Amino acid sequence: MVFPEQLNGLKVCFDGQLIAAEDSVVHLMTHGLHYATAAFEGIRIYNRTPFLLREHMERLHHSCNVLMMEVPYSVEQLCAQAQQVVDVNQIDFGYIRPLVWRGSEGMLIAGHGTKVHCAIAAWGVYESGRAEIRQRGANLGYSAHPKLHPSHTFWSTKATCIYALCYVIKREANANGYDDMVALDLDGYLTEVSSANLIFIKDGALVAPIPDCFLNGLTRQTVLKLAHQMGIAVHEVKVTKEMAAEADAAFLTGTALELLPIKKLAETEYEVEHPIFLQLEKAFHQLVNS
Ligand code: PMP
């Protein structure tokens, strides 16, 4: 059995039991694999403490509600399981990946008779190029793939079905020499990149696309809250390509990326070490390490 090497020798929580990562396998006929009846979370660990653990587990419940799947564990139980995985593996800084999915007990599309399963894995952070992009700033293009219509039920979730689009956008970026791509909504307004939110800085204020057809990330919410506390104005508005081209700076937010400055979006170059970005980055790092 081949499994991600960062899980080598670690334990995961699988349906409430701690087991070796290499034993955490699913059947070929898993409903979630065929019909995307699955949802996940991504949580960072700082100083052996998962950041915003409860909020992430509440979002997992929300994602599963939208997918009409009853999570077999309460938010409190999920939090306890996640902390147990962190503690048993002694992970001081890392990442937690909870996953909920319909099992292999039936193949009917509605999933009747299938069991809802839940697993939580965690591992020490590998930064996969993050530090290098932090230094030079991200290089972004505009994706040819539009986001979902706001009437679509899945956009506020981390249901795996939306990640097919995220995956295509990231592959498109890599194939075209970019770090990532900004997707537009169906009216041509800016939304986010493959799996992180986007915020601009203009005339001393933050300008953030309204999350009306894409995930309102917990990092985004944290950064906007910090900005309010620091007296930095925040405008949540529909952002056009013209507005993006006139901004002074821009950055990405997400659990995995934390805060990452943008150097270039299409033809527009931004200031990577903008003082407001640096202030927010410092405040964020102080918060997660407090
Ligand atoms: N958008 C998408 C599609 C994502 O996958 C993520 C990462 N979870 C984000 C935004 C940022 O969300 P968060 O800050 O909660 O990690």
The Cα–Cα gap between 230 and 208 comes to 17
Asked if residue 254 has its Cβ within 6 Å of ligand 1, the reply is: yes
Tokens 């409903």: give the residue.
31
Q: Cα–chain-centroid distance for residue 44?
A: 10
* Span from the CA of 280 to the centroid of ligand 1 (angstroms): 18
pLDDT of residue 147: 95
Contact of 40 with 99, CB cutoff 8 Å: yes
Q: What six digits make up the tokens of 173? A: 């970026």
By C-alpha distance, which of 29, 45, 31, 59 is closest to 159?
59
Contact of 93 with 46, CB cutoff 8 Å: yes
Asked if residue 255 has its Cβ within 6 Å of ligand 1, the reply is: yes
Task: Return the SS3 of 248.
Answer: coil
Active site annotation includes 158? yes
pTM beyond cutoff 0.85: yes
Q: Cα–chain-centroid distance for residue 275?
A: 26
pLDDT of residue 3: 67
Catalytic residue among 158, 170, 202, 263: 158
Q: Residue 199, class by beta-carbon neighbours within 10 Å (0-12 exposed, 13-18 middle, 19+ buried)? A: buried
Mean pLDDT in runs of 10 for the chain (290 residues)?
Answer: 79 98 96 98 97 98 98 98 98 96 95 97 83 96 96 94 97 98 98 98 98 97 98 98 98 96 98 98 96
pLDDT of residue 2: 60
Distances (CA, A) of 107 to 35, 71, 99, 180: 9, 19, 20, 36
Asked if residue 32 has its Cβ within 6 Å of ligand 1, the reply is: no
Q: Pick from 168, 215, 221 the residue to mutate for probing ligand 1's pocket: most ligand atoms within 8 Å of its CB.
A: 215
